[in-house]
Amino acid sequence: MAQMSSPDRPPSGSGTMFRGEVASPERRGALQGVAVYTVTTLALVTIVAVLMRAFGVAIATPTGAAFILAGMWVPALARLVATRSVDRS
C-alpha cells in the first residue's frame, strides 16, 4: 500500500530533513565523518603552506616539491583519521 504524504512533505525515505527533525545516528555519523575529514584536510594543508612560507620555500625548487608531495598525501591521511575516529562499526 502506498504511503500518503502531505503536499509539503516528501514521501518517507527521501533523505530530506525538515526543521525540528532529529537526524538518525547513521546520518549524524556520516556528517561527523565529513566534518572530521574536512577539518583535518584544511588544517594539514594550512600547516604545509605555513611551513613553506616560514622556510621561504618556492614551489619550483626541489624542497618545494617535497612539501607539495607531503601536501598531496594530506587527503589520504585525513580519510584515515576520519575513519578511525568516527567509524566505530
pLDDT tens digits for 44-66? 999 999 999 999 999 999 999 99
To the nearest 10 degrees (0 to 180), the angle between helices 62-72 and 74-86 is 30
Report how far residue 29's alpha carbon sits from residue 23's, in angstroms, rounded to the nearest whole number: 10
| pTM, entire model | 0.65
Residue-averaged pLDDT of the chain? 82
Which grid coordinates belong to 55? Answer: 622556510
| pLDDT of 4 higher than 60 | no
Q: What is the torsion angle, in degrees rounded to the nearest 10, for the CA atoms of residue 37, residue 38, residue 41 and residue 43?
A: -120
